[in-house]
Amino acid sequence: METAVRDIETLLAAYQQADREATSLLIHRVNPVLYRYFYGHTRNRQEAEDLVQEAWLRIHRARHTYRPGLPALPWLYSIADHTRIDIYRKRKRSTTHEVACDEPAEPAHRASAPTAAQINWNGLLAKLPESQREVLVLMKYSGLSLDEVARLKGSTIGAVKLKAHRAYESLKAMLKRKEAGK
């Protein structure tokens, strides 16, 4: 099948032309990318899946703003990033008006707990400052290059490198402290 080897850029261009097969393929290709990105930030499967759905609705509304030929990932991540920020703000606003109640039990199919190693990494990542965590998530979970992260964040490659370096140093220090505590 020819569409199987098409890249995201080509699929996005076909999506703009209302190509149904390309759209389905694009959804299957982009979903894991978005999920990894959101999971890296929220470390919660359900929340990450909800964010993926919301991001798709926005991508659909904004599909005409992708210009064929340009890299698709910065475009996609920019929408994803603001989806995350908007939903976070909305939740923050609504939680101030809500009365806290017990969390409902997690459905059985979601109960598969992450491995111990993952829990450790998630905990460590959560301790990093937001700007450093964001750079690490984009580079390591989403696989973006330094240049792509810099474009996406409106920053320079040097600044992104510095943030990543600081994040690695902080992680190293946290791991050392943990080991020393054992």
Partner 1 sequence: MKRRDLESLLLQDLKPVKPLASLSYRTLVLPLAAVAIAALLAAVTGWKGWQAMDSISRLLTYPLIAGLLLLQAVFVAREMEPGQSRPKTMWTFAVLIPALLLIFPLGLLLPALDPDSWMHGIKCFGRGTMTFVAVFAGLAFWLRRGYFVSSERAGTAIGILAGLGAFFSQELYCPIVGEAWHVGLAHIGVVVTAGMIGFLAGRFSPPGFWNR
Q: Are the beta carbons of 83 and 55 closer than 8 angstroms? A: yes
**Residue 2 vs residues 11, 21, 30, 176: alpha-carbon distances, Å:** 12, 11, 18, 50
Token pair for 104: 């409902």
Does 53 participate in binding partner 1 (rule CB under 8 A)?
Answer: yes
Nearer to partner 1, 91 or 127 (CB): 91
Number of residues that bind partner 1 (CB under 8 A): 34
Does 82 participate in binding partner 1 (rule CB under 8 A)?
Answer: yes
Nearer to partner 1, 56 or 141 (CB): 56
Does 124 participate in binding partner 1 (rule CB under 8 A)?
Answer: no
**Looking at 20-28, 37-45, 106-114, 133-141, which segment touches partner 1 (CB under 8 A)?**
20-28
Q: Are the beta carbons of 71 and 9 closer than 8 angstroms? A: yes
Nearer to partner 1, 136 or 152 (CB): 152
Does 61 participate in binding partner 1 (rule CB under 8 A)?
Answer: yes
Neighbours of 172 (CB within 10 A): 10
The amino acid occupying position 127 is K
Does 16 participate in binding partner 1 (rule CB under 8 A)?
Answer: yes
